[in-house]
Amino acid sequence: MPVYHLMEDRFRTALRRFLGERYGLDLPVAIERPPRLELGELATPIAFELARRLRRAPRQIAQEIASGLGPIEGVARVEVAGAGYLNAFLDRAQFFELAQELARGTAPAAASAASKVIVEHTSINPNKAAHIGHLRNAVLGDTFVRLEHFAGRPVQVQNYIDDTGVQVADVVLGFLHLERKSLEDVRRLAAEPQPRPNGAPESGKPDSGARRFDYLCWDLYARVTEFLEADPARLELRAQTLRAIEEGVGAESELAGIISTAILRSHLRTMDRLGIRYDLLARESDILRLHFWDAAFRQMTSRGVITRPATGKYAGCWIMALGDAPAEEGAEAEAKVIVRSSGTVTYVGKDIAYQLWKFGLLGLDFHYRTFSRYPDGSAVWTTASEDGEPNVPEFGRAREVYNVIDSRQAYLQNVVSAALRALGFEAAAAHSVHFSYEMVALTPRCARELGYELSAEDTQRPYVEVSGRRGFGVKADDLLDKLESAARAEVDARHPEDSEAVRAPIARAIAIGALRYFLLKYTRNTVIAFDFHDALSFEGETGPYVQYAIVRARNIFRKLAEQEPNPAPAPPAAAPGQSISALSAESRAKLLAGPEGDEFWELLLLAGSLGSQAAAATASQEPAFVAKFAFQLAQSFSVFYHRHHILSEADPVKKAFLVELVGFVASQLVAALALLGIEAPEKM
């Protein structure tokens, strides 16, 4: 357990024990951070709460607790302040020692298979290039995965691929009827090598896009939408195409396979640029072919979860009742259609079957095959309908499932958990989490910059929605390219002496840092109004600001090694966490006292709070907390860096102490960025 978190825990435990022994009370104790350092490091307003119950003045109660509490390990003293706050002051030197000790042994807690977590994210329809909205989904999901992993829980990452849906059908229809391409034509287009396999920008200019298959489909999809809107009779064409794909027959089905697989590969490539990886690609076509729905249907009918009314507006459909209050006489009860009167299943129906599978409650399983491998050899698996490979890891059977889906689908996600609950799977229903977030929209200004025409009404709005259907939005790779060339220009200006091989990865790390931080700094339920000005910024509250703080810290170690090549008081950049000087506890305590010591202490305390910040982020499923923390710590470090010149410090003991402090802070900054999926370059 990280150090600040541990101290919180000890303080809380001591308080609860005292409350129980003295007053016979068992109540939750809120621990907070006092507003100023003079008031200590931990505080609780518990005396106010007790004042009501005990009918005594809060200050008097606080006094009683403070004197009766007894010693707490790591806490120097407890004081009463204000109208009745209890403030704890930590033993600073001990905190520092403990913090470094704990930071060194970072082996995550033994992962227990019983607590397996599935996180599903990305899940882009495989019929067009990924856009900025998809990036928010993937980055949030991926960061949550990192947080779960950090907490020591086994996580499996799934990406749901709707390869038999309307969106793919539309592009199939487009190739066949608008483009009049043959199967072979499309196969050739789809097989065309990507111009930038590793995402390196060509001469700083975004790729023209004309050749890229995912970009080509992006445009075609928009044209198909127009084509279908122009004459509603054409919808029959779509219905036919969709039916053929679902049944797995004809050229339509084969085309759907070619298109969805090629697009999926480009999505994986795009996400790989951002450090986002998957364990399993779960394909809709396999859910259909393995008849998952039939198994779910049997469960739902046999337990009476869905019924088929003979009359009324739902006559002939299988419906699930929603809401517990029976509807008034005459009014239709609130219900959701699961099977249409035509006998076909709705989207939610399939989703219920899939959700049951995730918990191991369906009674059926997929076959599995290796889809591709990452450079390090780890496999991305895909579901299959037959011919599975042997020696497959166990998929599904999770205890908790997080579905990263935007907030517009809240209603449908509720229907899915309601179905699990109605089936009697209470625990699964309770652990089916809709990891909800708001969409990414464009500011009207940004939309105009992109050349989209806006209605007078849209211009007045705070933001306008992106629409893959209309081809309206910022493509993920275009944005990444833009960021990389902007970062590259900065790097070139600063490090003209370095070779291409040195500069390119730095620019890439900065671009990713800027993008991931930008998408993570907003809390989930805030609509991001996207604007190039903010997204392309490398200053202020941004990823590069945090990266820069780390680079500065590393420079200190680098220069230090040049100054004194032999003694190596602290190893440089590679492992800043393991600074081990022979500082005595007394020296540390002395340097952490007094006005200047307060300054160091504040920085140390903040750096030691990473664990509790990460825990808060995990508990509330809010990655933005980690982003905020990383920025605050970087900010505190920047101030410290500016005020204290370490290399020129004359006092060797103090110098060793400062080096140790910088090492610890840098290690926590690196760890915080790693949680966000951001790397710190060696220089920038």
Partner RNA sequence: GCGCCCGUAGCUCAGGGGAUAGAGCGUCUGCCUUCUAAGCAGAGGGUCGCGGGUUCGAAUCCUGCCGGGCGCGCCA
Q: Closest approach of Cβ 192 to RNA, in Å?
A: 27
Q: Closest approach of Cβ 286 to RNA, in Å?
A: 15
234 binds RNA (CB under 7 A): no
Ranges within 548-607 binding RNA (CB under 7 A): 548, 551-552, 555-556, 559
342 binds RNA (CB under 7 A): yes
Say how many C-beta atoms besides its own lie within 10 A of residue 233's C-beta. 8
Mask for 429-468, x = binds RNA (CB under 7 A): ---------x----------------------xx--x---
Alpha carbon distance 661, 667 (integer Å): 10
User: Applying CB under 7 A, which of residues 69, 72, 317, 603 lies at the interface with RNA?
Assistant: 317
Mask for 507-536, x = binds RNA (CB under 7 A): ---x----------xxx-xxxxx----x--
Q: Closest approach of Cβ 444 to RNA, in Å?
A: 11
**Binding footprint of RNA, residue count (CB under 7 A):** 88
User: Applying CB under 7 A, which of residues 43, 356, 420, 442 lies at the interface with RNA?
Assistant: 43
Task: Give the range of 356-364, 473-481, 603-611, 644-652 binding RNA by CB under 7 A.
Answer: 644-652
Q: Closest approach of Cβ 479 to RNA, in Å?
A: 16
Beta strands in 162-298 (DSSP E): 280-283
Burial class (CB in 10 A: 0-12, 13-18, 19+), 570: buried
Ranges within 396-425 binding RNA (CB under 7 A): 407-412
User: Applying CB under 7 A, which of residues 28, 35, 232, 377 lies at the interface with RNA?
Assistant: 35
Cβ distance to RNA smaller for residue 480 or 510: 510
Query: To 10 degrees, the CA torsion angle through 183, 189, 193, 196?
Result: -140
225 binds RNA (CB under 7 A): no
**Helix orientation angle between 624-643 and 594-607, rounded to the nearest 10 degrees:** 150
Q: What 3 state SS string does 106-135 have?
A: CCCCCCCHHHCEEEECCCCCCCCCCEHHHH
Tokens (6 digits) for 122: 């990305």
Cβ distance to RNA smaller for residue 209 or 257: 257
Ranges within 7-26 binding RNA (CB under 7 A): none
| Cα Rg, the chain, nearest whole Å | 29
Task: Give the range of 100-108, 204-212, 356-364, 544-552 binding RNA by CB under 7 A.
Answer: 544-552
470 binds RNA (CB under 7 A): no
User: Applying CB under 7 A, which of residues 14, 31, 506, 633 lies at the interface with RNA?
Assistant: 506
Asked if residues 361 and 422 have their Cβ atoms less than 8 Å apart, the reply is no
Ranges within 104-133 binding RNA (CB under 7 A): 125
Cβ distance to RNA smaller for residue 150 or 637: 637
Asked if residues 554 and 578 have their Cβ atoms less than 8 Å apart, the reply is no
Alpha carbon distance 349, 355 (integer Å): 10
Cβ distance to RNA smaller for residue 63 or 555: 555
Q: Closest approach of Cβ 680 to RNA, in Å?
A: 11
Cβ distance to RNA smaller for residue 232 or 375: 232
User: Applying CB under 7 A, which of residues 179, 207, 254, 490 lies at the interface with RNA?
Assistant: 490
User: Applying CB under 7 A, which of residues 140, 263, 401, 624 lies at the interface with RNA?
Assistant: 624
Q: Nearest to residue 530, comparing CAs of 249, 133, 177?
A: 133
Asked if residues 525 and 437 have their Cβ atoms less than 8 Å apart, the reply is yes
Task: Give the range of 93-101, 272-280, 311-319, 605-613 binding RNA by CB under 7 A.
Answer: 311-319
Alpha carbon distance 633, 670 (integer Å): 11
Cβ distance to RNA smaller for residue 156 or 260: 260
Q: Nearest to residue 621, comparing CAs of 440, 439, 436?
A: 436
User: Under 8 Å CB-to-CB from 516, ≥6 apart: which residues?
Assistant: 139, 143, 274, 543, 676, 677, 678
Q: Residue 679 carries which DSSP code? A: P
Query: To 10 degrees, the CA torsion angle through 263, 268, 274, 276?
Result: 140
Alpha carbon distance 115, 111 (integer Å): 8
Alpha carbon distance 458, 608 (integer Å): 47
Q: Closest approach of Cβ 1 to RNA, in Å?
A: 22
User: Applying CB under 7 A, which of residues 622, 654, 661, 680 lies at the interface with RNA?
Assistant: 622
Quick check: helix, strand or coil at residue 306? strand
User: Applying CB under 7 A, which of residues 12, 367, 369, 683 lies at the interface with RNA?
Assistant: 683
Q: Closest approach of Cβ 119 to RNA, in Å?
A: 21
Cβ distance to RNA smaller for residue 134 or 399: 134
49 binds RNA (CB under 7 A): yes
Alpha carbon distance 678, 511 (integer Å): 10
482 binds RNA (CB under 7 A): no
629 binds RNA (CB under 7 A): no
Cβ distance to RNA smaller for residue 92 or 336: 336
Distances (CA, A) of 363 to 176, 185, 359, 539, 626: 39, 41, 10, 53, 39
Alpha carbon distance 436, 413 (integer Å): 10
User: Applying CB under 7 A, which of residues 16, 23, 48, 209 lies at the interface with RNA?
Assistant: 48
Q: Closest approach of Cβ 112 to RNA, in Å?
A: 30
Amino acid letter, residue 612:
S
User: Applying CB under 7 A, which of residues 248, 250, 644, 653 lies at the interface with RNA?
Assistant: 644
User: Applying CB under 7 A, which of residues 25, 29, 76, 81 lies at the interface with RNA?
Assistant: 81
Asked if residues 47 and 61 have their Cβ atoms less than 8 Å apart, the reply is yes
Q: Which helix (H) or strand (E) holds 528?
A: strand 528-530
Alpha carbon distance 343, 364 (integer Å): 22
Q: Closest approach of Cβ 480 to RNA, in Å?
A: 15
639 binds RNA (CB under 7 A): yes
Q: Closest approach of Cβ 174 to RNA, in Å?
A: 17
Quick check: helix, strand or coil at residue 597? helix
Cβ distance to RNA smaller for residue 430 or 639: 639
Residue with the two structure tokens 């990036």: 135
Q: Closest approach of Cβ 67 to RNA, in Å?
A: 18
φ, ψ (nearest 5 deg) of residue 159 = -125, 115
Mask for 129-168, x = binds RNA (CB under 7 A): ---------------------------------x--xxx-
User: Applying CB under 7 A, which of residues 234, 265, 340, 445 lies at the interface with RNA?
Assistant: 340
φ, ψ (nearest 5 deg) of residue 412 = -65, -35
Ranges within 648-667 binding RNA (CB under 7 A): 648
User: Applying CB under 7 A, which of residues 206, 248, 316, 571 lies at the interface with RNA?
Assistant: 316
Q: Closest approach of Cβ 374 to RNA, in Å?
A: 27
55 binds RNA (CB under 7 A): no
41 binds RNA (CB under 7 A): no
Residue with the two structure tokens 């081990």: 580
Distance from CA of residue 423 to its chain's centroid?
A: 31
Say how many C-beta atoms besides its own lie within 10 A of residue 424's C-beta. 12
Residue with the two structure tokens 């944005």: 479
Ranges within 255-294 binding RNA (CB under 7 A): none
User: Applying CB under 7 A, which of residues 60, 67, 106, 344 lies at the interface with RNA?
Assistant: 344
**Left, alpha or beta for 451 (phi > 0: left; psi -120 to 50: alpha)?**
left
User: Applying CB under 7 A, which of residues 297, 354, 371, 631 lies at the interface with RNA?
Assistant: 631
